[in-house]
Amino acid sequence: MVGSGASATVYRAFDTRLEVYRAVKLLHDRHRRDIKTRHRFEEEAAVIASLRHRNIVTVYDIDAERGKPFIVMDYAPGGSLMQRIDRLGSLEPTAAVHTMIDVLDALQTAHERGIIHRDVKPHNILFGIDDVPLLTDFGVALRIDDRMTPRTRNRILGTPTYMSPEQAHNSESAGPRSDVYSAGLCLYVMLSGRQPFAGHEVADAREELEHIDPRLAEIAMRACSPSADDRYPSAAAMADALCEVGAQLPVFRPETLHTPGTAPLRYLAPPSIPPMDETWPPGLRSDEPTEDSATPSTPTPERFLEAPSLEASERRPMPPARMAPINPIAVTLLVLLFVGASATTWFVLNRLVPALAAP
């Protein structure tokens, strides 16, 4: 299991056909019959699939196994930004800038397509094999054209600690600047290693950033302004400001993002990923669904089985080619055709030709 949220659990799986790892997001059993939750789950896949961007996780399939829907997405072995912050305490300013610029670029693409993420936080920023930031979890995303639809009306959706004031008041009022606010909090957490602050704690938050470039601190604080009008007008505008400051920061050192003694993720091949658990997901031997179980009991889709070794010498040999079944009627017709042709040839050579040659 990679992680679990309020409505779904994410597992690591291995595609035995393409020989690559994938992430499989499985809707919890307790939500399986909830039409609204299931619709939002399917909507998430549709939203991500409509956004083609190198910093947005890719969806490869959505399906259901015995009535339990799941989404197949990119697997990010680098874990989440939150896990990285927990491990390192905080990120170097240059690393934080590079990460946030990629996330903002992804948000700008979503906003241009009329989609507001509404749940930007370090937990939803993953790192792929090449250490590329990937924005994920569009489960509460809002399509601007769908405002005030029955499924989101008067509901507060998102994570309160990373939610802008206007979104906390009414999720339907969230806009691009709401995502900018959440991105600003993510930048603050990366730089300070501290939890997000409330609006009345702005002065204390500035003190936490005294050790970094004041221009970078000012970008984070402007993005987190309680008033939407005081923030950057777009994700692209915030990214431009970070690019300008980032160009004058010390050279980025990738090794600072990794535990000493280990190779950066860009050098890790699939065989280096730890082996999978015995079952996917755990507990699938039981066919009875459990409402209170922390791990859903779900059969394994045929495409995602236990991971084999990727060493060429240990791969399973390809099964021998099978012959197509023999059709007896076709065989009979072929035999009759052969016999008829033989009889005709014999008659022509032994009867007809001598008769014509006779005087």
Q: What is the pTM of this model?
A: 0.67
Please give the Cα distance from 213 to 217 (Å, whole number): 6
| Residue 309 phi, psi (nearest 5) | -70, 145
Respond yes or no: is residue 119 known to be catalytic.
yes
Q: What is the pLDDT along the chain (359 residues), one digit of tens a residue?
A: 888 877 889 999 999 998 999 999 999 888 877 888 888 888 899 999 999 899 999 999 999 888 889 999 999 999 999 999 999 989 999 999 999 999 999 999 999 999 999 999 999 999 998 899 999 999 889 988 765 444 445 566 788 899 999 998 888 889 999 999 999 999 999 999 888 766 556 666 778 888 888 999 999 999 999 999 999 999 999 999 999 998 888 765 554 444 433 333 333 333 344 444 433 444 433 334 333 333 344 444 444 444 444 444 444 444 454 555 677 888 888 888 888 888 888 777 777 767 766 66
Q: Check: CATH 3.30.200.20 for 3-76+267-300?
A: yes
The reply to whether 81-257 shares the fold of 3-76+267-300 is no
Architecture of the domain delimited by 81-257: Orthogonal Bundle (1.10)
Produce one character per residue of 166-184: b if its CB has 16 or more CB atoms within 10 Å, e if not: bbeeebbebbbbbbbbbbb
Looking at residue 251, its pLDDT comes to: 67
Q: Which of 119, 131, 137, 179 is catalytic?
A: 119
Q: Where are the domains of the chain?
A: 3-76+267-300, 81-257
Looking at residue 191, its pLDDT comes to: 92
